[in-house]
Structure 1
Amino acid sequence: MSFNRNLLNIIIVLCVCLSWDCNEGAQEREKREIDSHTIQLSSLFPSSSSCVLSSRASKTKSSLHVTHRHGTCSRLTSGKAKSPDHVEVLRLDQARVKSIHSKLSKKLTDRVRQSQSTDLPAKDGSTFGSGNYVVTVGIGTPKHDLSLIFDTGSDLTWTQCEPCVRSCYSQKEPIFNPSSSSSYYNVSCSSSACGSLSSATGNAGSCSASNCLYGIQYGDQSFSVGFLAKEKFTLTSSDVFDGLYFGCGENNQGLFTGVAGLLGLGRDKLSFPSQTATTYNKMFSYCLPSSASYTGHLTFGSAGISRSVKYTPISTITDGTSFYGLDIVGITVGGQKLAIPSTVFSTPGALIDSGTVISRLPPKAYAALRSAFKAKMSKYPSTSAVSILDTCFDLTGFKTVTIPKVAFSFSGGAVVELGSKGILYPFKVSQVCLAFAGNSDDNNAAIFGNVQQQTLEVVYDGAGGRVGFAPNGCS
């Protein structure tokens, strides 16, 4: 009897131990699943599938479809996605980042205003860049649908206009002709709006027969010069605005090929959100699509905004500029918070930008991110760097890839977990890179770029002085 009791006790102890071991193993597996993404390798690369429209943009009032400039869904590509030259994309991206850093460094010093030429404006403003997203907006009466790149780092909305006095670059849609619109009129050079061009474009307005001329030149030498005008803008059938200021460019050159112009979503009083503030209260949101065969949305006002949005205050680092500033307080990789001193982020500050492709981090923060990411990716062979991306992997022979989750913590308690498409930048199967880069200087601001924003709902509440994030924003 005693023997049987002892045997029973041993069996119970063994079962309990095995149970604990199993539970520990299950917990480890569960933790790995929670802290990582396992994705099909093929999902990182463009497919030739037909365009899938965002239901949010189709159903929500004041909402426009967002497409990538070179995507399957774009009006500019006739349903055939054009693969961009990735090295050129990154070269232009670096030019934009340098321009942003230059603009931020100048904001604390007095600028020397040069006399304005009607031929070419002073060299100021942000680089246009290359990783751009497009919406279609109606301009004029009758309305003329035009594809505009939207940019949170720019203020003045402008489009190419007939007649092209000097030159116009090639665009897909017919160039807007103001003489065919009954709602178009030029703005006087004595108007307050003309005086506002200095803050909106970096260049003072000038006069031509009492009409106000604007000029904006980007860091890559692209430019637009023309008349500051007022016109009717139609977003949707129910969202029509009379008399909005915009630039009617009669001399335009640069990297805008295909698109008609730019929709400025910055913080200046001439920006689109500021001009429509009585309707939308300076609030808009967007979701950038995860691939060329999907659309996202750009929505004005508070309609449809997710209840799960977490907000962070707009920081003062970008006051006096177009940009929306952020305060980054931490980064987590694979569930582990990186040991980065708070001053690494607080000293240079940070901003969010829809036109920068790859997020930039202070050198010490990037080094910590890279080290932690490589440790979690140790089973995948490393390969050579490409341009600004120095942490790359050869995924030849793999059907799936497991990558550590990456999350950013911002002031105010907002924690933003990146989608799987926001972590890697694929060139080819044998060269898939970590989609982050380090700044060259500790004093340069961090930039939260558009690869990292993909599939997130990003909310800009200008009146409330905050920016918000929520997952699954395109659905």
Structure 2
Amino acid sequence: MASNSSLLHCCVLVLACLLSSHSSQALGGNNTDKAWHIVEVKSLLPSSVCSSAKEKGFNRLTIIHRHGPCTPQPTNKKITDAQILRKDQDRVDSMHYYVKSAKKATIGESLSVSLPAQHGSSYGTGNYVAKIGMGTPRKDFSVVFDTGSDLSWIQCKPCKACYNPTDPPFDPTLSSTYSNVSCSSKDCTRLEKSFCSNRQCQYEVRYLDNSTTNGLLARDTLTLSPTDRLLKFMFGCGTNNSGFSDSDMTDGLIGLGRDRVSLISQASSKYGAMFSYCLPSNSSFTGYLSIGTNSVPKASFTSMVQKTDSPSFYYINLIALKVGGKLLNISSTVFSAGTVIDSGTVITRLPPTAYVKLRDAFQQYMEVYPRAPNLDILDTCYDLTKYPEMYVPAIAFVFSDGTTHDVDFSGILYVPQESQACLAFAGNSDDSDIGIIGNMQQKTVNVIYDIVNHKIGFSYGGCK
């Protein structure tokens, strides 16, 4: 058995050399680009032990994978990988629906303000959560952080309908700094179809996976770190929350979109309109979310694109893909629908024309490894049980200004088990749908959102 494994490993090495040579001749490009990752397969597998980094820096929050061992209160209701991918597709479908609906609507101020507060992406796929404090005295809550949403909310007492979260619902009567937003406030009237109860503004977010949250629009003190607070932070105090699952294991959501009700917009006068995060390589490690202009390592920036029909999303101008260090033969017009970078989508979605090119090139590099059954939306899977170490072709995104984002090896394959390691990309149903760079392909990278200067940066070196 050992000799067979060694022979297979030698075959992989020979194939790697042949493919690298063939790619150089057939596709051209920059030969200094990295072609391969040498990966220990066990490093891609989920772990049962949490390796937590020390918190450092003001207004910097530790983030964890909600289904990993670092979750403070694990649930017995485990979610399967197929369920995660189904929820991920729900989110993608809802984002596509929102963009297409917005394009059909009359574009105006009311649309740009109200739609994000009325309709949300699928809630169940934001895989990373942070701990925040709300109220005076502070009470801690675990919340999804989501660049595809704007209005933040948490579960509140008295609960008419609540799912079982990790923490008891927020009790506004116990906070000395809590206040409701009145119906006459501009903050209330900016929400389309806002309604009132006892002269207090009611909010509602209706997600397209049939989950909803509604309650009072309120203000209170938001604590980001032991020494850093944001006064009069506006959020939804949700007393009626339906369609959520106990396996979500979160108390609500922090919206990091571009609308004026998002955390970033509300905090801009204090911290500047900038934030960054780093997602860990594995669910057993922690990352961080930083609000403001904290110093970050040297970064490569690409321009942020403004779309009037979906102004809250973060668009960047993707024009090409690389596999094995070589450009794929894809016309830049294939990406003309636009590409969003999103913290809440798991698997990157590409125009089907581009995805087929990427998948075919990837399969050519990986042909030595035995295939495994598909995993839901993932159609390129491999059985790596006989391979303690493997060679994975490098994958990179290329943007219109020449910036390249190299995907970390931990973000190329989705690996629930050694017998099923799948290419972590999928195709949209049509080239007219927006592309989405998911959180798998952002792992270990400091992703910097500089909203004032309209650019997004990528800084490498891990979540330090």
**Residues 399-441 of structure 1: CA distance to partner in whole angstroms, max 9, x if unpaired?**
1111000011113222110111110011322221100000011
- Tell whether the 8 Å contact from 2:323 to 2:393 is kept in structure 1 after alignment: yes
1:52 is matched with 51
Instruction: Decide whether the 8 Å contact of 1:60 with 1:304 is kept in 2.
Output: no
| Alpha-carbon separation, structure 1, partners of 2:265 and 2:309 | 15
> In structure 1, what is the equivalent of residue 13 of structure 2?
none
Q: 2:122 aligns with which of 114, 127, 135?
A: 127
Q: Tell me if structure 2 keeps the 8 A contact 1:263–1:272.
A: yes
Aligned to 1:62: 59
Contact 1:71 1:292 in 2 (8 A): yes
Corresponding position of 2:92: 97
2:125 is paired with a residue of what secondary structure?
coil
- Percent identity reads 44
The 8 Å contact of residues 155 and 252 in structure 2, kept in 1 or not, is answered as yes
Is 1:338 aligned to residue 328 of structure 2? yes
Output one character per residue of 1:247-304: Cα deviation in whole Å (capped at 9) or x when no partner.
Answer: 0011012335321100000000000000001122110000111112110000011213
Aligned to 1:15: none
Offset at residue 123 of structure 1 (A): 7.8
Deviations 1:84-129 (A, max 9, x none): 30101111111110100010111222279xxxxxxxx998321113
The one-letter code of the counterpart of 1:321 is P
Partner of 1:275: 266
Residue in 2 that maps onto 1:115: none
Q: In the alignment, what sits opposite 1:169? A: 163
Distance 1:320 1:436 in 2: 23
State the TM-score, normalizing by the size of structure 2. 0.88
Using the alignment, how far apart are the partners of 1:54 and 1:282 within structure 2? 26
1:459–1:107: structure 2 CA closer, same or farther, 3 Å change rule? same
Could you say which structure has the larger radius of gyration?
A: 1
How many Å apart are 1:318 and its aligned residue? 6.1
Output the amino acid matched with 2:266.
Q
**What pairs with 1:161-240 in structure 2 (closer than 5 Å)?**
161-164=156-159, 166-198=160-192, 204-240=193-229
Distance in 1, Cα, partners of 2:190 & 2:184: 11
Q: Distance in 1 between matches of 2:308 and 2:445?
A: 23
The alpha-carbon deviation at position 32 of structure 1 amounts to 10
Gaps of 5+ in 2: 1-16, 22-30, 108-115
Contact 2:154 2:238 in 1 (8 A): yes
**Preserved contact between residue 33 and residue 325 of structure 2 (Cα < 8 Å):** no
TM-score (norm 1): 0.86
Match of 1:264 among 255, 258, 268: 255
Q: Distance in 2 between matches of 1:76 and 1:33?
A: 43
Equivalent of 1:88 in 83, 86, 98: 83
Return the match for 1:148 from 143, 146, 149. Answer: 143
Which amino acid in 1 is paired with 2:37? H
1:165-216 alpha-carbon deviations (Å, 9 max, x no partner): x211101112100000000010011111012223xxxxx3111111000011
Stretches of 4+ moved more than 6 A in 1? none
Which whole-Å CA distance do the structure 1 matches of 2:61 and 2:305 have between them?
28
Q: Distance in 2 between matches of 1:102 and 1:226?
A: 25
- Mapped contact 2:46–2:416 kept (Cα < 8 A): no
Q: Write the distance in 1 (CA, Å) between the matches of 2:251 and 2:317.
A: 34
**Which whole-Å CA distance do the structure 2 matches of 1:76 and 1:385 have between them?**
32
- Measured against aligned partners, the alpha-carbon deviations of 1:200-236 in whole angstroms (never above 9, x if no partner) come to xxxx311111100001111111111100001011111
CA 1:75–1:146 in 2, change beyond 3 Å: closer, same or farther? same
What does residue 117 of structure 1 align with? none
Shifted more, 121-130 versus 36-45: the winner is 121-130
Counterpart of 1:364 in structure 2 is 353
Residue 390 (structure 1) aligned with residue 389 (structure 2): no
Q: Show the counterpart of 1:287.
A: 278
For 1:163, what is the secondary structure of its paired residue? coil
Paired residues of 2:348 and 2:437 also in contact (CA < 8 A): yes
Q: 8 Å contact 2:94–2:121 — kept in the other structure?
A: yes
Q: Over aligned residue pairs, what C-alpha RMSD do you find?
A: 2.3
Aligned to 2:409: 420
- Alpha-carbon distance between aligned partners in 2 of 1:185 and 1:466, rounded to the nearest angstrom: 35
Alpha carbons of structure 1 residues 467 and 122: separation in structure 2 relative to 1, 3 Å: closer
| Partner of residue 296, structure 1 | 287
Deviation at 1:43, TM superposition (A): 1.1
Query: Aligned with 1:197: secondary structure?
Result: coil
- What's 1:440 paired with? 429
**Secondary structure of 1:87 counterpart:** helix
Q: 1:320 to 1:379 in 2, by over 3 A?
A: closer
Higher relative contact order (CA 8 A, sep 6+): 2
Amino acid at match of 2:419: S
Aligned residues of 1:159 and 1:262 also touching (Cα < 8 A): yes
Q: 1:147 to 1:220 in 2, by over 3 A?
A: same
Structure 2 CA distance for aligned equivalents of residues 133 and 226 of structure 1: 24
* CA contact 1:311–1:412 (8 Å) conserved in 2: no
Q: In structure 2, do the counterparts of structure 1 residues 47 and 33 end up closer, same or farther at CA, with 3 Å as the change threshold?
A: farther
